[in-house]
Amino acid sequence: MKLQDKICIVTGAASGIGKEIALTYAREGGKVAIADINKAAAQATADDITKAGGTAMAVAMDVTNEEQVNAAIAEVVAAWGGVDVLVSNAGIQIVHPIEEFPFADWKKMLSIHLDGAFLTTKACLPHMQASGRGGSIIYMGSVHSKEASVLKSAYVTAKHGLIGLCKTVAKEGGKHAIRANVICPGFVRTPLVEKQIPEQAQALGISEDDVVKKVMLKETVDGEFTTVQDVAEVALLFAGFGSNALTGQSLVVSHGWFMQ
Ligand code: NAD
């Protein structure tokens, strides 16, 4: 058990990548808080974990709302006594050409991805410092933390920003053994991506099949989507890593789409 009794908070864990990370952490002995804006879906994930013999709780959290973030982290600390692992994963996608990108959508994207990462980090750090055990903070970046694609200006900007936050947390956290990392997945077939396929087909004037083959998976070595399990394995590696050796690093998980 790589995370025995570690107290883990995963945002956006009611669906997709975050849910798989939560299931993986629980299988490895972690106590997992499922933090999501969709409380009912978060509770369903927590119930799945509990039925399988793991330990989980659901907390309602809009990651853009400081009061909700602080209240949810306080709820987890009250229940279990601290925080050892934070996975800041909640995210959405909105695509437009820059000249048509509504400012409100731009601000929403930056708020969920960057304010969410900042607020959850800020709320968890004091508990990781106070415990004397250190901790692991993992940001869900993307290949778009390193690379750009058309129509995704806000997403690419936000995901690049997470690399800067991660490096700063790594520097400030080093003396407390608090590590920070970014995971950078390629396309993973979750609801977030399913929604983009028809949208991109319309915006680019191509078929949905071509969006998958010629846009999303074109640069991979095997024409395969990255899987939620691929990403969860990396999240387990970072959460369970026993030293500062990897802190500040980001790792691309993309079936060869983007190689550093
Ligand atoms: P998803 O839509 O399956 O899950 C996202 C979850 O975030 C949902 O449960 C949703 O309710 C929650 N959420 C949305 N807004 C929130 C908010 N304001 N506060 C709290 N929770 C909120 O998406 P996914 O594909 O699993 O994406 C998870 C993360 O992975 C995102 O940060 C995304 O950018 C990133 N990512 C996804 C892919 C991909 O191809 N799917 C690739 C690279 C990175």
Task: Tell me what pLDDT residue 22 has.
Answer: 98
Cα–ligand 1 centroid distance for 16 (angstroms): 7
Give whole-number Cα distances, 67 to 30, 34, 92, 94, 114, in Å. Answer: 26, 17, 21, 25, 16
Q: Which residues fall within 8 angstroms of residue 112, CB to CB, at 6 or more apart?
A: 63, 64, 90, 91, 92, 158
The active-site residue, picked from 155, 187, 238, 258, is 155
Output the ligand 1 site: residues, CB below 6 A: 11-12, 14-18, 36-38, 61-64, 89-92, 112, 140, 142, 185, 187-188, 190-193
Task: Supply the DSSP symbol for 59.
Answer: E
Residue 185 confidence (pLDDT) above 90:
yes
Cα–ligand 1 centroid distance for 125 (angstroms): 22
19-59 pLDDT per residue, tens: 999 999 999 999 999 999 999 999 999 999 999 999 999 99
Please identify, by atom number, the ligand 1 atom nearest to the C-alpha of residue 12. 7
Task: Tell me what pLDDT residue 203 has.
Answer: 87
Range 152-162 average pLDDT: 98
Domains located in the chain, CATH noted: 7-187+227-253 (3.40.50.720), 189-225 (no CATH)
Residue 224 confidence (pLDDT) above 90:
yes
* Best residue for ligand 1 mutational test, from 20, 67, 92 (most atoms within 8 Å of Cβ): 92
Cβ of 98: how many Cβ atoms within 10 Å? 11
Task: Tell me what pLDDT residue 260 has.
Answer: 85
Residue 210 confidence (pLDDT) above 90:
yes
5-14 pLDDT per residue, tens: 999 999 999 9
108-133 pLDDT per residue, tens: 999 999 999 999 999 999 999 999 99
Beta bridge partners of 139: 88, 182
Alpha helices in the chain (DSSP H): 16-27, 39-51, 66-80, 103-110, 116-131, 153-173, 191-204, 208-210, 228-240
Task: Tell me what pLDDT residue 129 has.
Answer: 98
User: Does the reported pTM lie above 0.95?
Assistant: yes
* 155 is a catalytic site residue: yes
58-114 pLDDT per residue, tens: 999 999 999 999 999 999 999 999 999 999 999 999 999 999 999 999 999 999 999
